[in-house]
Amino acid sequence: MTQSSLLGELEVEVEIKSPAEKFYHMYAGRPHHVAKATPRNVQACDLHDGEWGEVGSIIFWNYVHDGQARVAKERIEVVEPEKKIVKFRVLEGDLMEEFKSFVITIQVTPKQGGNGSIVKWHFEYEKIDENISHPETLLPFFADMIKEIDEHLLSEE
């Protein structure tokens, strides 16, 4: 068994109509509004420690994935407004039953030559053993969430 077979990376990229700054701010500055934007996928986002959008802050998510109610406790690791990047490390919750580590990076870039943006959701993880599947089912889940948040942001304009 090689250690590298347990490590993985996945990425989903979605083109949206909202400006990059607005989408970025939804996760970097007001993730508690995500539940309002995509209630079918996220039921709640609560701040457990620190301040919204501050590195080191602890956020607790209640969400539904594959028809199951799930939870995740995450620490904000990176907030880079100029690059529109925010990174979360999952500390506890359902994902940690199958993964030793799970890091989610969100980057939003303005679309070249037009309106809208590109949202990239990047996952780096280490499975607890090789019997655990790679988390590909998260890709359509997050793609759907991105689209619903985009619709919500557009409706706020």
pLDDT value at residue 2? 44
Q: What distances in angstroms separate CA 27 from CA 86, 88, 111, 132, one per listed residue?
A: 7, 10, 19, 29
pLDDT, tens digit, 9 for 90 and up, residues 127-143: 999 999 999 999 999 99
CB atoms within 10 A of CB 105: 16
Sign of CA dihedral 77, 118, 62, 152: positive
pLDDT, tens digit, 9 for 90 and up, residues 63-116: 999 999 999 999 999 999 999 999 999 999 999 999 999 999 999 999 988 889
More confident residue, 1 or 17: 17
- Superfamily of domain 7-147 in CATH is START domain (3.30.530.20)
pLDDT value at residue 156? 85
Q: Is the pLDDT of residue 3 over 70?
A: no
Please state the pTM of the whole predicted model.
0.92
DSSP 134: P
Q: Is the pLDDT of residue 144 over 70?
A: yes
